[in-house]
Amino acid sequence: MILDLDALAAALPKGRRLLGLDLGTKTIGMAVSDPGLVVASPIGTIKRTKLGPDLQELARIIKDYGIAGIVLGLPLNMDGSTGPRADATRSFAQVLIERGDQMKWEPRIVLWDERLSTVAVERFMIADDMTRKRRGEVVDKMAAAYILQGALDGLAHRRRLAAEALEHDDENGSDSDRF
């Protein structure tokens, strides 16, 4: 099912990883989180062929890495509207959900705004003096890591806010203690 980040956090089994995907027309960039959901690491790309083989490779990655959820980059337009690429991404997410049983996983998917992710990654690689050829080889998996890291940072922020709220409640006592 497609979830928001809070629902994904609540549904994730402890110690399981997330898979970040940057869906393109020619490749799918992939990155995985650590089990603590702190760091995203690029792991590779799938050269897209047909849907069946693409899903088989994703099923293998899900199994091999113990994936409990997917953060799928959603390519919104700069004004926040959706276009053909965003529609294709939503359709791909729906296929992942529909074929969850075949892939032997419980689909938990977050659509994450990926505006400018590839641009940010390209700028970083240019600043790092990476050749154009090498950039072309790694940009998709690096974009997937950038997308996934954004979601992981969002999860960390939510955990901090929840911890601060609990701390604040403990300092002030519960309402029942006041009466």
* Gap between the Cα atoms of 137 and 20, Å rounded: 18
**For residues 74 and 86, is the Cβ–Cβ distance under 8 A?**
yes
Q: What pLDDT sits at residue 164? A: 82
Phi, psi of 107, deg, nearest 5: -65, 120
pTM score, whole prediction: 0.82
Of 88, 70, 76, 69, residue with least CA distance to 117:
76
- What is the per-residue pLDDT for 107? 87
* CATH assignment, 2-173: 3.30.420.140
Phi and psi at 71, nearest 5°, equal -105, 110
| Contact yes or no for 72/90 (Cβ under 8 A) | no
131 contacts 92 by C-beta, under 8 angstroms: no
Span between the terminal Cα atoms of the chain, in Å:
44
Contact 35, 15 (CB under 8 A): yes
Domain boundaries, the chain: 2-173
Rounded average pLDDT per 10-residue block, the chain, 179 residues: 90 92 92 96 94 93 94 90 91 93 86 76 67 66 90 88 76 55
pLDDT value at residue 142: 83
